[in-house]
Amino acid sequence: SSLPRCAGQSRAPPRGVAIRVIRLCGSGGAAERRSGTVAMATPVAKEASGHPDPHRSNHCTQIALRRMARLIVDYPCRVALGSLLCIFIIIGIVSTATIAIDAGGSSFRAETDSTALNFDAVTVATLDVILPPKAADVEQPERALPYGSVSLIYEAPAGADTGSMLGLTGLRAICEKEQAITSTADFRKFCLRGEGGKTCATPVSVLSLLFDADAETGLLAYDCAGITQADVDGLVERLTDAPESIVLAGTGLTQPINAAYLLPSNFGPSDTNAAVTRSLMVFGLPLAGYNNADQPSPTMKGVPLMRASAEQSGKVDAWTKDVLLPVLDDASDDVVAVRFRGTGINDVIFEGILLNDVNYVMLSLVFVFAYCWFHMRSLSLTAAGLFGVIMSLPVAVFVYAVVLQIDKFGTLNFLGLFVILGIGADDLFLFRDAYVQMGSAMEAAEARGFSFSADDRKYARMEAAYSRSATAMAITTLTTALSFAGNAVSIIPPVRSFGIFTSVLVVVNYLIVITWFPACVLAIENIKQNGCCGRRQSPAGPGGADGDEDASVDVEAVAPPATSAGAPADGTATEGENSTARALEAYFGGPHARFVDTYAKPIVGVFLVFAIVCGVAALNVETSKEPAQFLPEDHPFWRSMLLREEFEQPSRAINDGSGGSVMPATFDFELVFGVAGINKDDLDPTEAGDLGDVVWDEAWDISDRAAQQHMLDVCDDAEATLSATVLAETTACLARPLKLWLETEKDLTWPLPAARAGDTVELVVEWFDAQGPAYANPYMQQIGFSVDRSDVRFVKYIFQTGLLPFTPAAQVQPVYDDIVAFVAAQNGEAGAAHAQVLMSSFFFVMMKTESVLVQTAIICASVSVALAFCLVFAATRDLIVTAVSTLCILGVVLTVLAFMYVAGWELGIIESINLTVLVGISVDYTVHLAVAYAMHARGNRKQKMQTALAQMAISVFSAAMTTIGSALFLCLAVVLFFVRFGIFISVTLTASLVFAFLLFPAIMVLVGPEDEAEGGGGGTGDDAVDVVIQGSMKSIDDEEAAAAAGAANGHKPSRSAAAGDADSESPTDGAEDAVAADADAEPSATVAAGGVAPSGADPDDAVAADADADSATAAPSSLGDADATRTTPASGAANSEGADVDGEAGADADEGDAAAPDDAEAKAGDVVDDSQDAEGADSEGKDAGMG
C-alpha cells in the first residue's frame, strides 16, 4: 500500500490472490490493488463508442477520494480529532476578529448608483458642517437640544364602543395614559427642556388645549376626572372652526405646531368624529453632568454634534427600554389602544420581535435533528453530523472575514443558517445512505456465493461509498455555491455579502462533511464493536495464529442480504439502520420507477402543459404597487405606521442630528447648492460610518448676484412647473426667509446690490444667528458654513412630494424622472454657472434599490442556470442529461413565479431577495439524480433510471423533508420577511422534488443515454448491487485495462506478474491477461485467478468468463490493503465461509487447503460442493458453504 497502516496491520497477501500494481495519474508513485480471485475486465473502448465515460476524465479525482477513504478507515479518530482541532482553532481566530454587524438599513441600497452617491454626498456635507462652531466656552443648556421623540397614536380597539377620541370617554382615557407616561421615574431627567427654564417642554397633545402647563415643570396639570362634556364640546368647536390658527405653545420645537397636527384628515364641520388622535413627547441632550464643550468637533467625520456622546444617548435609550417601554406596553386597554414608536423604542421593539422569531429558528433546528435521528437511527451519528454542519458557520465566517477581509456581516447572511441546514442534511444523508447501500450490496454479493474479508468490508465499502457520495456532493456543492456567488455582482452590499458568504458556507460545509462525518461514522462503529476507536487486531497478529487471513472477523454490522432495490431481503433492518428509510429505497427503486417507466409519455405531457400554464402566470407577475410590508397589519408597531396616513399633516420626526429622522414621515427630496458629489476612493474598511469625502462645488459662489437670483428662481420654477404629485409643498426654501429679513431688517434686496455683494456671507451669518441659538435654529440643517464662518459651504432646499413614504418603485420612477429633468433644466440656466443644483432623497435611493433588486434577481437566476448547465455537463459529459437537468431547474423557477402570481405576491423588496436564492436551492435534487444516472448507473435507460432512483431518491427525499420542515416553522414568525422566506423555500423545494422525481426520470426513460457497450440490452437486473460497487470503482478498472492493452502491444507496464504465475517472465502472463478482456465485456465478467479456468481455456490466461453471465458477477475488492479472500463458485480452491449456528460468520478453518484437480472444469455460477470446505452450514439447513 502507498498509505501507511497502523502498527501491526500490514498483511501478506493470502494464497490465490493476484496482486496488481498500477501507476496512478502518470506519477512516479504506485498503488496496490489486491484483487480477489475474481478479476474484472472493463471496456477500454468506451470513448470510441461516441459516448464519453465521465469516470475516465475523473480518474485522478477518484484515486484521491479512495486514498482519503482509506485514510479515514485507518485513522478515523485521528481524522475526526484533527478536523475538530482545526475547527476550534478557527473559532478562536474568529473570536478575536473585528466583524461589524450590518443591520442593512443605510447599507441596503444600490451603493454605486447616482441616487445613493448624491445622498451620501449631502449626508457627509451635513455632518461636516451641521452646525457652526460653538462660541468659546459656550455650552448648550441642559437638555436644550432635541435628541429624539416618542410618537403616540390613539384609536379605539376593534369592537369597542369608545366612539370619537375627542369624546368624553376617549379624552379621559387619553388623559390617564399621558399622565402615567409623564409620571414615570426619571421622565424629567430626559425630557426636552422647556421654554423659560421649565423642567420639560409641554407635550404636543390635544390635552394641552384643556389643561394649563405647570409653571415649574412645564408639564400639563392633568385632571382626568375633571373633564366634563362641556369641556369636550368647547374643544371640538374650537378644532372645527380653524385648527391651523391654534398654535400649541411650549413645545420647545424649532418649528411651531398647530392643532391641525392632532386631527385626522376627515375631521371638519361635516364630520366631528375623530377616530384617531396623536401626541408627541420629545427628549433632549445634553444630560445633566455632561459638558458639551468637551464634545468632539462637529467637523469630525461621522460624528454629528447631537450624537457625539454615545454615553448620553445610551442612557436615554436604556431608560426608554427599561422604564418607558413597559408603561407603553401596558397602556392599551378596552377603551383606547395606544400605538407608539420613537427613538430607542423602534430598535427595542424589533429586537424583541427578532428574539421571538429566533425561537422558531431553534424549533427548525430541533426538527432537523429529529428527522436526521429518525433517518439514521443513531443519536451519536446525528449529533456528530449536525455538529459538523453547524460548525461550518464559524469556519465560513473565518474565510469571509479573515481570509477575504470583508469586515461587514449583513443580517441577510443569517439566512445562511436555514440554507446550510438543508444542504448539510442533504450531504449527511448522501454519505450515510451510500455507506448503508454499499453494505447491502456486499451482503447481496455474499448471498450469491462471494465472501469478503474484514478489510474488504471496511475498505471496499468505505471507498465505494465515499467516492460516490463525495463526487455527488462536490457537483451539487459547486452548482449551489456558484449560484449563490452570482449575487456577488450585486451593487447592493447586503445582497453581495449574502452571496459571497453563502457560497463560502456551502463549500466549507462540503469539506467538513467529507472529512469529519465519515471519520465519525467509522470511529463510532469501532467504539461500539471493539470498545476502542482504532481497528482492533487479533492477539496472534493480523492473520491469526498461522498468519492466514481470518475472513470470519466481521467488524462491521451491515444489513441483511439486500434485494435489488437495496432493502433487506427479509424486510427487516439491523440495529442502527432505518427500516422505513430502506423501505423508501425499495419504493423509489421499485414501484415508483415502474410507474415512471409505464407512464413516461403522459408525465412529460402533463408537465409540458403545466409549464405553459406556469409560464403564462409568471409573465403576469408585476412589480409591487404597495409599500413593502415587514410586519402584519394588526401588529401594534406596524399599525402605528399605517395610522400616520389618517392625518392631514405629516408626522413630526425629531432630528437626531445626522440629518436623518427617527422615522421618515413624508416623501421629501432636497435640492442642494454647493455640493458636487462624493469621493469614495479612500474609504476606511474598518469604519462602518465612513461614507467617503464630500466633493465641494468649486464654482459655487453665494456672493454672485446671478447665483442669488437663480436661488430664488429655483423655488418659483419648481412650484410653477412641477405637478402636485411631484411637488405637493415647498418645505424649506432658504432664499425666501433670507430675502424677507434683508428687506425688513436691513432695507436691502435679494439679490444684494452690487455694492454689497462682498458682504453676502457676513449678512447671511447675521441672519442665521438672528433666528435663535444654534440648538434651536429652524434653519440649522438647511445651511452649512466653513469652520471660520467665512464661507457658505452649502444651501439646502427641501420639497415634499405627493407620495407616501416607501411608495413602490414603479410609482416613484415617474416622479423621479420629472425631478431629474427639472434639475437638468435649472442647471442649464444662464444664472446657474455659480449655483448648480444637486438632487438628493432617501426615497429615491430606496426606489433604485428596489429596481436593482428585481434586476439582480433576474440576472442572478439566469447566470445561476447557465452555471448549473456548465457544471452538470462538465460532470456528466452528456448533453442530453445536462439539457434535461436544466429544463427541470427552469421548470422550478416558472413554478415558483406562478405561485407568486396565484398567491397575489408582487415583485417587491422581499420577493426579490427570495428570488436571488431561488436557483441556488433548487438545483441539488435534479443534479443528484442526473449525476447518479450518468456516472453510477449501468444498463439501458430503464435500468439506469431505476438504479439512480434506488441510490439517490432516499437521500434527496430526506433532505427535502428536513429543509421544508424547518422552513415551515418560519411561517409562524412575526416578521413577514421570514414568513415569506419560509413559504418560498417550501414551495421551491416541493417543486424541485416533483420535477426531480417525475419529469427528469420520465424524460430519461424516453430519450436518456444508455450504455452502448451493452447495446442497451445488458442490464443490472437483480445484480444492481454488484454494479453499484463495480461502477464506483470503474475508473481504476479502466486504467488497468488500458495498461494491460498496452502490455499486449509490447509496452511493458510497470507492474508485477500475477500471483500464482511467479515463474512467468512476461508481465502479461497469468492473471495479468485477465485485464485484456474484450472491451465489449461487462465489468461483471469474472474469472478465477489462480484457480481453474473454464473449459478449454489456458489457466494462465484466465479471462474467458462470459460477459453475459451475470450470475458470475462478483463485487470487486477494495483498492489497496483490503485483502480479498472471496472466490467464485468456479474455483475449486475456494474458501468456504459458513455461518455458525448463531447465524454469524464463522472462521474458515481450512482456507485453501482443499484444491480441485488442475483439470477440473466448471462453468461460472456452478456450485461445487467441497466436503472439506463446506463447513458451517447452520442448523436451519442453509447452504453457507457456497463455492
Sign of the torsion formed by the C-alpha atoms of 49, 53, 59 and 63: negative
Sign of the torsion formed by the C-alpha atoms of 531, 535, 541 and 546: positive
Report the candidate in 819, 816, 802 with the shortest Cα–Cα distance to residue 849.
816
pLDDT of residue 911: 82
Report the candidate in 1127, 1134, 1174 with the shortest Cα–Cα distance to residue 1155.
1134
Percent above pLDDT 90 for the chain: 25
pLDDT of residue 717: 93
pLDDT of residue 18: 35
Report the candidate in 354, 371, 506, 611 with the shortest Cα–Cα distance to residue 917.
506
pLDDT confidence tier of residue 796, bands split at 50, 70 and 90: very high
pLDDT of residue 296: 44
CA distance linking residue 460 with residue 469, whole number of Å: 14
pLDDT of residue 907: 79
b vs e for 925-947, b when ≥16 Cβ sit within 10 Å of the residue's Cβ?
bbbbbbbbbbbbbbbbbbbbbbb
CA distance linking residue 762 with residue 853, whole number of Å: 48
Stretch 680-699: mean pLDDT:
74
Q: In this predicted model, which residue has the larger pLDDT, 753 or 692?
A: 753
DSSP class of residue 728 equals S
Contacts of 16 (CB under 8 A, 6+ apart): 37, 1059, 1060, 1089, 1090, 1091, 1127, 1131, 1133, 1152
Which of 675-679, 936-940, 1135-1139 is modeled with the greatest confidence?
675-679
pLDDT confidence tier of residue 652, bands split at 50, 70 and 90: low
Stretch 895-900: mean pLDDT:
92
Question: How many other C-beta atoms lie within 10 A of the C-beta of residue 817?
Answer: 11
What distances in angstroms separate CA 927 from CA 32, 416, 893, 921, one per listed residue?
A: 33, 21, 15, 11
Region of poorest pLDDT, from 469-483, 501-515, 774-788? 774-788
Average pLDDT, the chain: 73
CA distance linking residue 466 with residue 444, whole number of Å: 19
Contact status, residue 828 vs residue 647, Cβ threshold 8 Å: no
Residue type present at position 620? N
Stretch 1025-1032: mean pLDDT:
43
Q: In this predicted model, which residue has the larger pLDDT, 670 or 692?
A: 670
Q: Is the pLDDT of residue 1028 over 80?
A: no
C-alpha cell belonging to residue 113: 448608483
Stretch 944-967: mean pLDDT:
88
In the three-class reduction of DSSP (H, G, I as helix; E, B as strand; rest coil), residue 947 is classed as helix
Which of 282-296, 493-507, 645-659, 1130-1144 is modeled with the greatest confidence?
493-507
CA distance linking residue 671 with residue 836, whole number of Å: 10
Q: What is the DSSP string of 1057-1122?
A: PPTT-TT--STTSGGGGGGG--TTS-TT---BTTSPPSTT--GGG-----TT-GGG--PPPPSBS-
Q: In this predicted model, which residue has the larger pLDDT, 106 or 142?
A: 142
pLDDT confidence tier of residue 392, bands split at 50, 70 and 90: very high
Backbone angles phi, psi at 599, to 5 degrees: -115, 35
* Torsion on CA atoms 935, 940, 942, 947, rounded to nearest 10: -40
DSSP class of residue 828 equals T
Sign of the torsion formed by the C-alpha atoms of 871, 872, 876 and 881: negative
Q: Is the pLDDT of residue 1037 over 80?
A: no
pLDDT of residue 408: 76
Backbone angles phi, psi at 150, to 5 degrees: -120, 125
Q: Is the pLDDT of residue 641 over 90?
A: no
pLDDT of residue 337: 92
CA distance linking residue 373 with residue 381, whole number of Å: 8
pLDDT of residue 712: 93
Q: In this predicted model, which residue has the larger pLDDT, 161 or 371?
A: 371
pLDDT of residue 17: 36
pLDDT digits 0-9 by tens, 186-228: 899 989 888 888 899 999 999 999 999 998 999 999 999 999 9
What distances in angstroms separate CA 128 from CA 231, 785, 889, one per listed residue?
A: 50, 9, 51
pLDDT of residue 571: 34
pLDDT confidence tier of residue 1023, bands split at 50, 70 and 90: very low
In the three-class reduction of DSSP (H, G, I as helix; E, B as strand; rest coil), residue 180 is classed as helix
